[in-house]
Amino acid sequence: MAGAIIENLSGRKLGVLIVFLMICQVVCFLVGALIAPAPSSVMSILGTKCIDKNYRKDKWYWTRGKGKCQSIIDLQDPVIEDLHINANNMIFTFQAPSPKSKYILDYSRWQQNLIAMMHVDIYYDEEAQFDPQAIMTLEARLGYRNLEDPEDKWTEYASSTEERRLDCTIDPLHKKAEYMYNCSSVPLFELGSLHHDFYLLNVRLPINTAEEPQESNINEDLGLLVDMWVAFIHQNGGFTKVWVSLKTIFFPTIVAIMIWFWRRISLLSRPPALLEYMLMMLGAALTLLNCPLEYLTLVFDCPWMTVVSDIRQGIFYASLLSFWLIFTGEHLLDDIERNRIRVYWRHLSAVFGGCLCLFIFDMCERGVQLRNPFYSIWVTEVGTNLALAFIILAGICAGLYFCFLSYMIWKVFINISSKRQSLSVMSSARRLHYEGIIYRFKVLMLATLLCAAMTVIGFILGQVSEGQWSWDENIKLEYTSAFFTGVYGMWNIYTFALICLYAPSHKRWPKDQNWAVSDNCGLASIHGALLARDTQSSTGEEIEFSRLATEPSEMSSITAFAKKTAME
């Protein structure tokens, strides 16, 4: 048989291919380390306290440029008493991005998304009514303006009345005037697309008054709240350019190698094997992930881009995890008849069940945010516990999956080592050939294990990276662009290598003159050697391998060997 390229490629050519792929991997790490900036940046803005005795919900309040609002610095300003200002007439205003060194900054569409986290400054006051776990009701409006628009033209993007639960503590020794409570940050809004140049956020904390009756006890337990901060988090445009550039390079490369691979498969006289179908599925999922849809955000407002990115990432994870299970299972060298997808239904059900749970969890937040950017699953105690449970469970499942995959690979190595004893009955040339195949396969399995380890680490760090702004934990983690670009490059290089090495080869290993072996070449011929040894007569007469003169197979040698039943 022809076998796979990994079995028939000369050592010299294989070495050149490995060196080339390693260079590509190093380049991916260096691009992230030397060229790309940090993946994201944070800009914390102190809210300006605008006052308006005749507050209207359809009116915008801003602090820079033509038509700016009347503002105060602190709550002790005599204007408050003169105009009889209360919380209903006070609006916290945020204009993003804020100027830097007197230079007006604007957002770029390369920055992709915008997340806002709110933090309040509450001073200790014995006379003020304060509940550390109080529910804060806020009226929030988000507007935008572009460079060509007048300074006083703001267009509403979203508005909502939301509730946020405070979580504040204070050291008993600091329960005195001029000391602040330590309050955790709470999520405010999230935009999946950063399409406009400037954004304006107005936040009001209404209270009950005789003139404006509200719901009972609304914002009555907030104590002496004096300031409000909002941290605006966006993806760096330089990182996006590097990321999209990698996608632009990998996308046509993977598509081309898939076309070449399937063309070789279609020339065979047999239907594709399960492993070959899985390689095509993995390549298709990676192609979907590589497709540089981010270019659309440069022209159109795509608030759904974050959701689509999560779906693409989930499809790729499901395909990659499923492929590893089948790839390892197809080489277990046991007595089970494989090459059928239903053999792995338990393994695949667990993978797809886990991915489905993560998809449902993601839609519960980012899916709703397509309609209301101010919505967050983290704002309630039940939602926070549920979100933390999902993240922790996902991390545990990822770790258990890696342990199970490591066990399967270890089992493959043990089985291969036990089968290597049969190589002693072969001629030296054929024995060296099969020993080389086994060595190459072991190296490939170790590369699979390394890729799985990096993927699991990247998945866990990604979950922590998304959630660390929302939970009340002081977690210090350094994320580097080199890790993100390196792991992303590793996925493409690993898939490229598998498709290339497991494509059918046009070369044929010459038949051993000492054995009347049919075209079923490869490690399956070890089985023939064992049969010959067991049936050979004491007179040393020539053996006819009639049982081996069957229909030729084009499966890889190591896979073919995995299909036979041990006859020792």
Burial class (CB in 10 A: 0-12, 13-18, 19+), 335: exposed
- Residue 379 predicted with pLDDT over 70: yes
Following DSSP, what letter does each residue of 392-444 receive, concatenated?
HHHHHHHHHHHHHHHHHHHHHHHHHHHHGGGGGGS-HHHHHHHHHHHHHHHHH
Taking residues 89-98, what's their average pLDDT? 91
Higher pLDDT, 325 or 383: 325
- Report the range of poorest mean pLDDT among 72-76, 173-177, 340-344: 340-344
441: left (phi over 0), alpha (psi -120 to 50) or beta: alpha
Q: How confident is the model at residue 356 (pLDDT cuts 50, 70, 90)?
A: confident
Which tops the pLDDT comparison, 245 or 522?
Answer: 245
Q: Which two tokens stand for residue 231?
A: 């941290």
* Residue 430 confidence class, pLDDT cut points 50, 70, 90: low
Average pLDDT rounded to a whole number, residues 34-50: 89
Question: Which is it for strands 198-204 and 135-145: parallel, antiparallel or unpaired?
Answer: antiparallel
Position 474 confidence tier, pLDDT thresholds 50, 70, 90: very low
* pLDDT given for residue 568 in this prediction: 39
Write down the pLDDT at residue 550.
36
Phi-psi map region of 260: left, alpha, beta (phi>0 left; psi -120 to 50 alpha): alpha
- 356/516: higher pLDDT: 356
Q: Residue 532: what pLDDT?
A: 44
Residue that is written with structure tokens 């095509």 in the block = 280
41-235 to CATH, choices 1.10.600, 2.60.120, 3.40.50, 1.10.530:
2.60.120
pLDDT at residue 61 is higher than 70: yes
Residue ranges of the domains in the chain?
5-39+238-501, 41-235, 524-563
> Looking at residue 207, what is its pLDDT?
84
Residue 9's pLDDT is 74
- Which run of H or of E encompasses 281? helix 274-290
pLDDT of residue 492: 93
List the single range of 142-146, 189-193, 528-532 with lowest mean pLDDT. 528-532
- Judged by DSSP in three states, 220 sits in coil
- Give the Cα separation of 251 and 262 in Å (integer): 17
Bond into 206 cis (ω within 30): no
- As a whole-number percent, the residues of the chain with pLDDT over 90 amount to 24
Q: Return d(Cα 215, Cα 238) in angstroms, integer.
A: 47
pLDDT at position 254, please?
Answer: 94
Express each pLDDT in 255-313 by its tens digit. Answer: 999 999 999 888 888 888 888 889 999 999 999 999 999 999 999 999 999 899 989 98
Whole-number Å distance between alpha carbons of 494 and 22: 10
> Could you give the CA distance from residue 561 to residue 334 in angstroms, rounded to a whole number?
10
165 in Cβ contact with 131 (< 8 Å): no
What's the pLDDT score for residue 106? 92
Mean predicted lDDT score pLDDT of the chain: 78
pTM: 0.80
Q: What is the pLDDT of residues 310-331, one digit of tens each?
A: 899 889 988 988 888 888 887 7
Whether the pLDDT of residue 368 is over 90: the answer is no
Q: What was the pLDDT predicted at 44?
A: 92
Answer whether residue 246 shows pLDDT above 70: yes
**Per CATH, which fold does 5-39+238-501 belong to?**
Rhopdopsin 7-helix transmembrane proteins (1.20.1070)
- At 126 the pLDDT is 83
Going by C-beta distance under 8 Å and a sequence separation of 6 or more, which residues neighbour residue 481? 32, 33, 36, 37, 38, 39, 239, 242
Mean pLDDT of 122-139: 87
Check pLDDT > 50 for residue 535: no
E strand or H helix that includes residue 310: helix 305-329
Summarize the confidence of residues 481-498 as an average pLDDT.
88
* Residues 191, 90 contacting (CB under 8 angstroms): no
- What's the rounded Cα separation, in Å, for the pair 162 and 109? 28
Angle at 258 between CA 257 and CA 260, to 5 degrees: 65
Average the pLDDT over 513-527 and give the result.
Answer: 37
**Tens of pLDDT, residues 212-233:** 555 567 888 888 888 999 999 9
Residue 405 pLDDT exceeds 70: yes
303, 193 Cβ separation under 8 angstroms: yes
CA distances from 391 to 224, 309, 376 (A): 35, 18, 15
